[in-house]
Amino acid sequence: MMVEIFSEVEDEELIDTISKGLVKAYNVKVIVSRHKIGNAERAYNSRRKQYDAGILVNLFLNSVKISELALIITDKDLYVDGLNFVFGYAPGRAGIISLARLDQRFYGLPPDRRLYLERAVKEAVHEIGHLLGLHHCRDRGCVMFFSNTIEDTDRKGSVPCEACMSRIRV
């Protein structure tokens, strides 16, 4: 299985850390592409000042040919209908993660680079888990636990629990 990473954010260390996290969790092959989402402004909701994650992923899928699975990394703040925000979203063959709420500064706290990278890995491994057929898990330590808050993300681990691992489609 191969995952192509498309990052809107130029941060080599971040992309590299996420790649390693995906390899560690799923033993997938990861390649990094340089393509950006075209027409992203179409997904912008000016009332919410956020981007519709589903529209963004569709715009992406309409403009890029992906071979297997794709992970989009963005710094745009995302939402889906019915939720105030989402850390990520994975409707089909492509998943997206948002870095907007992973930075401690978003919560009025001093920056913490290590924590930021750790959170990004967890959200990436979570969304790719969905692409591999996993659903949300009740185990708070499992990466597939649904993060309602950043505390949920910080509490969970960066790999799926054994039960989830056994359910992965390969």
Catalytic residue list? 127
Based on the shown chain and the rule CB under 5 A, indicate whether residue 99 belongs to the binding site for Zn ion.
Answer: no
Of 1-9, 15-23, 98-106, 134-142, which segment contacts Zn ion by CB under 5 A?
A: 134-142
How many Cβ atoms are within 10 Å of 18's Cβ, its own excluded?
A: 27
Closest CA to 136 of 71, 170, 98, 89: 89
Among 76, 137, 153, 159, binds Zn ion (CB under 5 A): 137
Report the greatest alpha carbon distance in the chain. 42
Q: Give residue for tokens 């981007």.
A: 51
Minimum CB distance to Zn ion smaller for 3 or for 142: 142
And the tokens for 83?
A: 């939720």
Specify the length of the chain in residues.
Answer: 170
Closest CA to 73 of 24, 111, 23, 16: 16
Minimum CB distance to Zn ion smaller for 11 or for 118: 118
Minimum CB distance to Zn ion smaller for 103 or for 127: 127
Based on the shown chain and the rule CB under 5 A, indicate whether residue 144 belongs to the binding site for Zn ion.
Answer: yes
Residue 18 CB, nearest distance to Zn ion (Å)?
16
Minimum CB distance to Zn ion smaller for 121 or for 142: 142
Residue 144 CB, nearest distance to Zn ion (Å)?
5
Based on the shown chain and the rule CB under 5 A, indicate whether residue 164 belongs to the binding site for Zn ion.
Answer: yes
Query: 3-class SS at 124?
Result: helix
- Backbone angles phi and psi of 50, in degrees to 5: -140, 165
Among 3, 78, 131, 161, binds Zn ion (CB under 5 A): 161
- Which residues are at the interface with Zn ion (CB under 5 A)? 137, 139, 142, 144, 161, 164
